[in-house]
Amino acid sequence: MALFSGNRKVRARRPKSAQDLKREVSPQRGAKQLTKRADELNTEIHRLECFITAAPRIQRQHRLDNVNMVPPMELASPAPRHRRVPIAKQRARRSERLRLLTEGLIVLGSIAAVVGWLNQWFHFWG
């Protein structure tokens, strides 16, 4: 169904018509409100125009301020973004950890075996 299909009358959403609203607002009070709002809008437009005009200068000054600036040493580097790691890379990491753990257990076991064997010969512990 099209938005404006045919010549049907569309009912207004407001309970009052524009003429009723116009009659309610006194011309003097409405004019004062309109001039006040117009002044506010003009000052806002002027402020935004000044900001837009000054934007390149502000950006250039900001860039110059940051050129020779060294970040403080006590601050850590920003946290890396968490990126998705491919499954193959996850498996490679897991297998590397498992290999290192197995290697560590073998080294510790061999050290314990050598100490036990030396204890048989030299009787370190009673």
| Res 109: pLDDT | 97
Domain boundaries, the chain: 17-68, 88-126
pLDDT of residue 47: 92
Per-residue buried b or exposed e for 31-44, using 16+ beta carbons within 10 Å of the residue's own CB:
eeeeeeeeeeeeee
Select the more confidently predicted residue: 1 or 30: 30
Predicted model pTM = 0.33
What is the pLDDT, as a whole number, of residue 1?
47
